Amino acid sequence: MSQAEVRSIDALRDFRAALAVYGDDVLAALGAVDAEIRRTGQWLSQDRPYYWQEQIKRRRERVAAIRADLFRLKLQKTPEHHPSLAEPKERLRLAEAALQDAEKRLTLTRKWQPALNQAVLEYHGAVQRLKDAASIDVPRATALLTRIVEALEAYLQVQPPDGRGAGETRATPAMESIAREAIDHDEDQKKEPIPPAPKEAP
């Protein structure tokens, strides 16, 4: 078994606390992004289409009303009376441009929906590893650090040999269990088998 030189149990405790905070912060940030993605998706797939459909309806009605006014002015034209058509024609031009703009925006809104969906899929694929690390690996690591700290604290409570032939001080079963858990955790990370620790001579 490889040896580690531990100079400060407090440093391990601080690292464990910082690691837990990191995991919580990552999950909170990812949760906020997911919420924003949902809001944006709803805005693009529901709010904007409804808004522009209503705008198209209203602008069509405005175009129809201006055309009717322009038609009535043309009917009023006589040899003696020549009403000006410049202003009504300009209003009609602006109303038709506004209608075309609303129709264009509705088309773009529908066009961007699949593009957003694809971007969201790519985002989720890119951050899945980070999410797994924060939700699975970090809790496992903090739990392992907790057991390591407990093992070190238990080790400090072990009395040294009294020099009267009592033999070497042996680790308690709890300490051996924690050490084995640490080894198994390293094996999972490296995916390489680690030879078992040699047994001490009695």
Find the CATH number of the domain harbouring 140: 1.10.287
User: What is the structure's pLDDT at 116?
Assistant: 95
126 within some domain:
yes
Tokens describing residue 124: 């989720």
162 within some domain:
yes
Range of the domain at 106: 3-191
- The domain tally of the chain equals 1
User: What is the structure's pLDDT at 167?
Assistant: 46
User: What is the structure's pLDDT at 196?
Assistant: 47
Q: Which residue has the tokens 């797939």?
A: 45
User: What is the structure's pLDDT at 184?
Assistant: 63
Letter for the amino acid at 107? Answer: T
127, 173, 178: which is closest to 152 by C-alpha? 178
196 within some domain:
no
Indicate the pTM of the whole model.
Answer: 0.63
Q: What is the DSSP letter of 137?
A: I
Q: What distance lies between CA 55 and its chain's CA centroid?
A: 34
83 within some domain:
yes
Tens digit of each residue's pLDDT (9 = 90 or more) over 77-98:
777 777 778 888 999 999 999 9
CA dihedral 43, 45, 47, 49 (to 10 degrees): 140
User: What is the structure's pLDDT at 25?
Assistant: 96
149 within some domain:
yes
Contacts of 53 (CB under 8 A, 6+ apart): 106
198 within some domain:
no
- Are the C-beta atoms of residues 98 and 86 closer than 8 Å to each other? no
Look at the alpha carbons of 88, 90, 94, 97 in this order and tell me if their dihedral is positive or negative: positive
158 within some domain:
yes
Rounded Cα gap, residues 89 and 83, in angstroms:
12
- Are the C-beta atoms of residues 49 and 109 closer than 8 Å to each other? yes
User: What is the structure's pLDDT at 157?
Assistant: 78
User: What is the structure's pLDDT at 195?
Assistant: 46
DSSP string, 106-119: HHHHHHHHHHHHHH
User: What is the structure's pLDDT at 83?
Assistant: 73
With vertex at residue 22, the alpha carbon angle to CA 140 and CA 175, rounded to the nearest 5 degrees, is 35
Q: Which residues in the chain land under pLDDT 70?
A: 1-7, 159-202
User: What is the structure's pLDDT at 170?
Assistant: 54
User: What is the structure's pLDDT at 80?
Assistant: 73
197 within some domain:
no
